[in-house]
Amino acid sequence: MKLSELHNGESAVIVKVSGHGGFRKRIMEMGFVRGRKVTSVIDAPLNDPIKYTIMGYDVLLRRSEAKLIEVLPEEEANAMLTAEDAQAPNFLACTDCDSCGLSCGAKRNKTTQRNIINIAFVGNPNSGKTSLFNALSGGHEHVGNYSGVTVDVKTGHFNYKGYHFNITDLPGTYSLSAYSPEELFVRRNLLESMPDVIVNVVVASNLERNLYLTTELIDLSQRVVVALNMYDELEATGAKLDYQNLGSMIGIPMVPTVAKTGKGLDKLLDTIIDMFEGDNKSARHVHINYGTILEPEISKLADILHKTEDFPQQFPARYWAIKMMEGDKEVATLLKSSKSYEKLEKQATISSEEVKKQLDIDAETAISDAKYGFISGALHETYTEGNVDANKKTRRLDKLIVNKWLGFPLFILVMWLMFSVTFWLGAYPQEWIAMGFDALGSYLNGIMPDGAWRSMIVDGIIGGVGAVAEFLPNIILLYMFISLMEDSGYMSRAAFLMDKMMHGMGLHGKSFIPMVMGFGCNVPAIMATRSIESKSSRLITILVVPFMSCSARLPVYLLLAGAFFPNYAATIMICLYLLGIIVAVLTAKLLRLTAFKQDETPFVMELPPYRWPTLRATLKHIWEKCYQYIKKIGTVILLASVIIWVLSYYPHTEISETELAQTETISETEATEIQYENSYLGMIGKFIAPVMSPMGFDWKISVAVLSSIPAKEIVVSTLGVLYGSEDDDLGEALQKSGDLNIASALALMVFMLLFFPCIATIGAVASETKKVKWAAFSVFYNTAVAWIVAYITYLIASLF
């Protein structure tokens, strides 16, 4: 029977995994191997994907992928699986590489300065790797409870007991294969940087699945220390682990740690130092014995490499041989320059066929099975399961949160609550900040003499910067909600809920996470697309993320919605965010039907357990975003405000206060408007105004839109310079000006939602796609879509 045929609550044992190589590889890494028990937990509201539990982890699979996995009821499976399938631990330990029969050929990397230790953190997603990195380095990297938070290399440094540690946090990965960008990235980094010690961070309460990556590191033959992170969760289940014996068996020292409390960190650092100095007694060179069929074939390939010695020496010949057996294309490319490559490639084909003939499974599957057999045997000797179900609370919550009928309403309620609180609660401190800037402007206006300097400081800097700074409380509240959703594990459930819908529109289920991250900032959201294995799906997601309304656009919405839709501000904001999602999905569908042919990839995504977000992590996340916003205000926004003021002040026609008082036909406000209209800024605005006028935008609004190219917040600072008033706040000044009405204000918000993103986001698109043409496409396509949709919005709104 197929795994997809299991009803919720039913369990079975896996007997076979079919499908293409990439799918089988990822599935096996996630624990779907022969002989493992799997339970169907719950269907998504639209009946796809399905949540399964295997090895204590919750994993999502679409029905189409679940159909590729054959299962049997436990009794039938136990009768079918022979004694040969139950593999015991088998170790081939080396103390002398020169005399080793398998001769791995690894060459250690030596640090020139003995007091400097370069370490790399490697681990599965959600293993707490970044939390451990932060705890040790004092870094401020964001820690989220879903796959793909660490999307690039992060570095830190600190001193401990006379040693200087350089620490690198690598992206979360399940293995070191060439399946996903993270896996390739991590392997390349280890190959090129050759850290002195690799710290393999594993979830202590879920060793069987996490240790698969450890077996890959064993094959690398590097100095490794395993950090048994979240060890308190293992102890809470009542489980017992003889980690010292386990470490001795596999030749890698293990240290229990709890990153959030700092427990075990000193011991971890002491162990790293011992490994660096070669003083750790439990560390030894261990080969995984892949059995009587695989081992001779691996040795044949390794011997070919040894004869030429022109393979990448950072990793042993045995490792390259194993990867050639697995058909790793990236490794084949790396070894093409070897003199023995043709012979190696020919032998790899022969060996793979021999394995297939002898075992009736491909070499890649056989190697994965052997790794899990190695893990199972080692844990059989050292691990005793507890009697407390650690995931009981998670399953109870999932019955409510991903419920067929309640899942979507709860999600919409969460989003509505987020925007409502952001608007209404943020309005109070927003008003206080605005009053403070107004008071400062009035004070300086009273003590400074009339002239350019006073105008630049009061109208340019205070008017422009103050207009943006007053929205800081709203930004803080928005990021607080996003942080809580990420850290609690709810973000992954949102992807679970949305996969069926996203899949139907040409997007991947994992695309939803970068899209939601885009509500905060588009740049890290685009970087987070690296967790999507399919190249075309990843590229489509990169191109649609800019339609997600980032926090930089929030001040524009708050200003216009508060001024023109005071009773429906939260509803207007929700509609804008939904519009961004709709346009993104339609764009994805268009791209899938035109530029990219269908590229189906398995929706395999880990559902982490729910965790209470720590106050420290949440406050740190909020502070980081707050700091970034303040920094932007003090740099980009300040510079832009001054530039806008210069363009609006020159060429300048002097009209003194005395002349204004003596003139009955012109007021101070009218004089200011005349000055702006005849300035360089007015000239620019009038040049582009014909393009923007169909949406009801005059030259001032057109200039504000144009100013948003460096950063979207500059729209507000530009309006602050152009419409600043001592008597009214900016919203009231906009209303009284008559330059915007309800229809044009709504069109302006839609245009700013869909208009091409800031320069930083365009740079991220170019960087992640490796092609400038996609960045150019984003600029022109998004601008065209923004104009069309904003124009339609204006026409419809004008009717009412």
Q: What is the mean pLDDT of residues 631-643?
A: 79
Of the segments 345-349, 640-644, 720-724, which one has the largest average pLDDT value? 345-349
Nearest to 530 by CA among 519, 552, 548, 545: 545
pLDDT (0 to 100) of residue 299: 92
SS3 of 238-255: the string is CCEECHHHHHHHHCCCEE
Which residue's entry shows tokens 């309640």? Answer: 406
At 523-574, the pLDDT tens digits run 777 877 776 767 788 888 899 999 988 878 888 898 898 889 888 887 888 8
Q: Out of 356-360, 528-532, 662-666, 676-680, pick the least confident.
A: 662-666
Higher pLDDT, 151 or 665: 151
Nearest to 526 by CA among 546, 512, 506: 546
Which residue's entry shows tokens 């075309």? Answer: 536
pLDDT (0 to 100) of residue 265: 94
What is the length of the chain?
800
Res. 774: pLDDT tops 60? yes
Q: What is the mean pLDDT of residues 35-60?
A: 85
At 377-432, the pLDDT tens digits run 999 889 988 887 767 777 888 888 888 788 888 888 887 788 778 777 877 887 88
Of the segments 104-108, 267-271, 607-611, which one has the largest average pLDDT value? 267-271
pLDDT (0 to 100) of residue 110: 40
Q: Out of 171-180, 206-215, 645-654, pick the least confident.
A: 645-654
H or E element at residue 326:
helix 317-326
Pairwise CA distance, residues 600 & 537, whole Å: 9
Terminus-to-terminus CA distance in the chain, angstroms? 59
Pairwise CA distance, residues 101 & 85, whole Å: 26
Pairwise CA distance, residues 392 & 398, whole Å: 10
pLDDT band per the 50, 70, 90 thresholds, residue 726: low
Distances (CA, A) of 391 to 143, 271, 442: 21, 31, 59
Nearest to 91 by CA among 352, 354, 286, 348: 286
H or E element at residue 203:
strand 197-203
Q: What is the mean pLDDT of residues 71-84?
A: 71
HSE-CB for 757 with a 13 A CA cutoff: 29
Angle of helix 291-308 relative to helix 317-326, nearest 10 degrees, comes to 120
* 624, 476 contact by CB (below 8 A): no
pLDDT (0 to 100) of residue 96: 45
Pairwise CA distance, residues 756 & 553, whole Å: 12
Pairwise CA distance, residues 454 & 457, whole Å: 5
Helix, coil or strand: residue 13: strand
Residue type at position 49: P
Reading phi first (left if > 0) and then psi (alpha if -120 to 50, else beta), residue 514 is in: alpha
DSSP H helical ranges for 566-692: 569-593, 615-632, 638-649, 657-662, 668-678, 680-692
pLDDT (0 to 100) of residue 255: 95
* 519, 549 contact by CB (below 8 A): yes
pLDDT (0 to 100) of residue 241: 93
What mean pLDDT value characterizes the chain?
A: 81
pLDDT (0 to 100) of residue 87: 44
Q: What is the DSSP letter of 458?
A: I
Token pair, residue 698, equals 């005059």
Pairwise CA distance, residues 751 & 701, whole Å: 11
Sequence-separated (6 or more) residues with CB below 8 Å from residue 714: 468, 636, 637, 640, 641, 644, 707, 708
At 81-136, the pLDDT tens digits run 654 444 445 555 454 444 344 444 444 444 334 588 989 999 988 888 888 988 88
Pairwise CA distance, residues 705 & 696, whole Å: 13
pLDDT (0 to 100) of residue 120: 93
Which residue's entry shows tokens 């109208």? Answer: 459
Q: Out of 382-396, 407-421, 722-736, 760-774, pick the least confident.
A: 722-736
Pairwise CA distance, residues 300 & 287, whole Å: 16
pLDDT (0 to 100) of residue 105: 44
Q: In whole angstroms, how large is the CA radius of gyration of the chain?
A: 30
pLDDT (0 to 100) of residue 604: 65
Res. 784: pLDDT tops 90? yes
Number of other residues whose CB lies within 10 A of the CB of residue 493: 25
Sequence-separated (6 or more) residues with CB below 8 Å from residue 46: 500, 501
Pairwise CA distance, residues 20 & 22, whole Å: 6
Pairwise CA distance, residues 423 & 187, whole Å: 45
At 135-178, the pLDDT tens digits run 888 765 555 555 555 556 788 888 998 899 999 898 888 888 76
Q: Out of 4-8, 310-314, 670-674, 711-715, pick the least confident.
A: 670-674
pLDDT (0 to 100) of residue 141: 58
